[in-house]
Amino acid sequence: MLRNGLEPWHLLVVAIMIILLFGSKKLPEAARGLGKSMRILKSEAKAMKEDGTAQSTAAQAAPEETTAAQPTAESNLVH
């Protein structure tokens, strides 16, 4: 019975229930709202990813500069 999970007729029943609940006039408006939300989510995720890579490259460059400026224990012993 549950071996195949979701069959095409299940999707048909769900689609009919959604049409009955929301009506045919509200569905295009809801689809537009969902599409707009998905676009905003994608752009925010892309911006966060770009910020993360910019911060990681800055973090990788910063320790190299600070370690070069600090004297090591061996240089203190030579003097």
pLDDT tens column, 33-67: 999 999 999 999 999 988 888 777 777 776 555 55
Read off the pLDDT of each residue in 68-72 and give the average, rounded to a whole number.
Answer: 55
Reply yes or no on whether the pLDDT at 70 is more than 60: no
Residue 43 Cα to chain centre, angstroms: 9
CA distance 46 to 40: 10
> 27: which residues sit within 8 A by CB, 6+ positions away?
18, 19
Question: What pTM did the predictor assign?
Answer: 0.47
Find how far residue 38's CA is from the centre of its chain: 11
| pLDDT computed for residue 41 by the predictor | 96
